[in-house]
Structure 1
């Protein structure tokens, strides 16, 4: 199942009915009073959220909707959800009329930096989980044993990749520098957004501007960012299993290529990849990460994502009781301790519970001197979704696999993105 992709609208009633067997009731009494909570999470993340809800003293029903989560915002049926955990600020902003304002007593000053869903002077989404999306995970022990250092610039990263490829004990032993999860196009988009944001932040800002000119996608800096990424992926031996195999690897598979299968040294993935790493028993001192390399000549922002809690109109008092519980500093502790890959939006949550790596990312996210931007796909609507940027990047990988030069593949991707952006604007 994809993660952080464009969420489909429509069909909530059917989706909820089909998933009723997956719902979890906290109590058997007073079922009609249970607060229905719709989420996009699956697998380990879904189990982690169940553990959080287990500490809530009142009734609830958990409805996993996967990619159909956006449909929950407009549902007007007897089985509609009361609360929805949304993975995209842009989707929330587009549905303000369907949401209740968040009570002022629940709002915290640090949320102003990470929410991005204001409507006038009211807030309509409560930040729950914040994610650092400018992250590259790597095998720390491998780096230490071979004298490798985390790269700070793009040229250092390219040099590092080639060193791994040329080392008879690494590339010669079947270990590639990179794992790439191309089956989940959103993971390709994470790589592209970081190349663009960390090298050409002004162009990034132009792309996410409302009513952005579609021709911006044909600009020289967009093309350069795509060419840089294509040039990295196209190097023989750079991608674990080759580019054809990359197109069938999903997000968890790409993380597992590095941990625990050890067929690659690094993977670009947000901080919540820690939950996948921990699921397969990787020791904490084996996994580490660095911030996506940046142009040393720019003040480079980092990309953030996360999950926001919203109350669907007309919300009952019991829905706000559960919302208040979930927004509390102690609520996310089960997820943090048992699953990992969670940074609480509430700054009072005990940061000593995070792993060493996530503590570092949390400090960077909280630092007011560090500029941040919301993830590209979170802001572009259909242009940034699975039928937009993700699809174009999958085709770019496919073209590189046929031997197409990176410059040509990048140029073709720009042309396709212009067409998609223009169609979305009409």
Structure 2
């Protein structure tokens, strides 16, 4: 199950649509226009996007596709969306024939880092960026016990053991890490960061269209899996143990650290801020560090994002809404009131970010980005691919399988799945 599935909630008006994979239609206050906006967001994120649209004067309908958002680009029924917020750049790149080019005056040079183009025409406008190389930690706990954020993987392993061995921390039931395995995408975030920040050449090779699936059996992939296995399998490293972690979903994992305080750290992208805010955690007890990299290197950051695209044949109301969303002030309600949003437009006023998100936004805009591997792999990167393999890895570790054996088992399984999607 993906992040976007687990936070899906009720309270939406349900209607039947002739759209592939579309389950819910949320009608918003409009003025007679039937322009449709396809999104993958639900629950808190969907409400935050509605706040973004609150001052838009045109009519629209929000169509939440959830995990089926890729089908929005191919829909050709009367109910197809006109404008889509697409979270998967790989899907956008593969579907350019279904898209209308953007008005050139909306394009900024900075967007080249995030959006695909063809023949000097631009087809996707970055709207929401996400910093995915983030580890959240409890600042007060670190300060009270003289702990420092790690700079390298070895530092991190040492930090975890120090927490485990401290009678006031590990001895009192506080683990170094919260881990959510029910949502395989959250495990994939850790895997992608180990690959990107320690074996960037292999990460880039796997990101290429038409890559050889046998790359998954490359030694670097197995090393990355082994590194994760070595960290997660240490007794006392994971809050509640690996068996309990197998049933924890994304929000539960963040809460494990910042609400129940049974963990010191959690690996989660920047949008974890909205979960942390929801239960009133004091801002001075929240901090982040960048996922450690191989010593002596400055590798790229893992990023994700939502790209606004116009589905052919694009109509004038869709262009009007695109222009509204392209403005620097459009995302301010989401940034200010919900959090967990980094605006792609660098002119968005940074005063509305929390101190933590302001720093993360600066990193995303200033450092070299790489889109998350899962978002580039298509079906092989989803819940039946990388996420599933990593869930099995954790299950194997929980059953007592040595990390080296679990890694050797997982790598060829991923190669097999990737090959099946060729």
TM range (shorter): over 0.9
Moved more, 37-46 or 392-401: 37-46
Deviation for aligned residue 1:298: 2.5
Q: In the alignment, which residue of structure 2 is the partner of 1:65?
A: 65
Q: In the alignment, which residue of structure 1 is the partner of 2:10?
A: none
Query: Does the 8 A contact of 1:154 with 1:295 survive in 2?
Result: yes
Q: In the alignment, which residue of structure 2 is the partner of 1:358?
A: 357
Match of 2:204, SS? Answer: helix
Distance 1:346 1:110 in 2: 9
Matching residue within 404, 407, 412 for 2:409: 412
Q: In the alignment, which residue of structure 2 is the partner of 1:153?
A: 152
Query: Does the 8 A contact of 1:175 with 1:265 survive in 2?
Result: yes
Deviation for aligned residue 1:372: 1.8
Task: Go from structure 1 to structure 2 and tell me whether the alpha carbon gap of 1:225 and 1:15 turns closer, same or farther (over 3 Å shift).
Answer: closer
Query: Does the 8 A contact of 1:99 with 1:313 survive in 2?
Result: yes
Q: In the alignment, which residue of structure 2 is the partner of 1:46?
A: 46
* CA deviation map 1:276-318 (0-9, x unaligned): 1111111211111000001113231111111111111111101
Distance 2:2 2:388 in 1: 13
Matching residue within 396, 399, 409 for 2:396: 399
Match status 1:270 vs 2:282: no
Q: In the alignment, which residue of structure 1 is the partner of 2:24?
A: 19
* CA deviation map 1:228-286 (0-9, x unaligned): 00110000111111111111111111111111111111111111111111111112111
Q: In the alignment, which residue of structure 2 is the partner of 1:239?
A: 238
Q: How many residues align?
A: 411
Match of 2:190, SS? Answer: helix
Task: Go from structure 1 to structure 2 and tell me whether the alpha carbon gap of 1:4 and 1:91 turns closer, same or farther (over 3 Å shift).
Answer: farther
Query: Does the 8 A contact of 1:4 with 1:87 survive in 2?
Result: no
Distance 1:164 1:361 in 2: 26
Give matches, 1:25-424, under 5 Å: 25-27=28-30, 29-30=31-32, 33-115=33-115, 117-367=116-366, 370-424=367-421
Match of 1:314, SS? Answer: coil
Distance 1:382 1:63 in 2: 22
TM-score normalised over the length of structure 1 = 0.94
Query: Does the 8 A contact of 2:179 with 2:248 survive in 1?
Result: yes
Query: Does the 8 A contact of 2:20 with 2:75 survive in 1?
Result: no
Deviation for aligned residue 1:109: 1.4
Query: Does the 8 A contact of 1:180 with 1:246 survive in 2?
Result: yes
Over the residues paired in the alignment, what is the CA RMSD in angstroms? 1.4
Query: Does the 8 A contact of 1:101 with 1:124 survive in 2?
Result: yes
Deviation for aligned residue 1:15: 4.5
Q: In the alignment, which residue of structure 2 is the partner of 1:8?
A: none
Distance 2:273 2:68 in 1: 25
Distance 1:4 1:47 in 2: 14
Deviation for aligned residue 1:422: 2.1
Q: Which runs of 5+ in 2 are unaligned?
A: 6-16
Distance 1:256 1:228 in 2: 25
Deviation for aligned residue 1:215: 1.9
Distance 2:388 2:192 in 1: 14
Query: Does the 8 A contact of 1:4 with 1:88 survive in 2?
Result: no
Moved more, 292-301 or 221-230: 292-301
TM-score normalised over the length of structure 2 = 0.95
Detail structure 1 runs of 4+ shifted over 6 Å in the superposition. Answer: none
Distance 2:71 2:180 in 1: 27
* CA deviation map 1:366-393 (0-9, x unaligned): 22xx322111101111221111111000
Query: Does the 8 A contact of 2:199 with 2:220 survive in 1?
Result: yes
Deviation for aligned residue 1:12: 6.1
Query: Does the 8 A contact of 2:136 with 2:289 survive in 1?
Result: yes
Query: Does the 8 A contact of 2:18 with 2:77 survive in 1?
Result: no
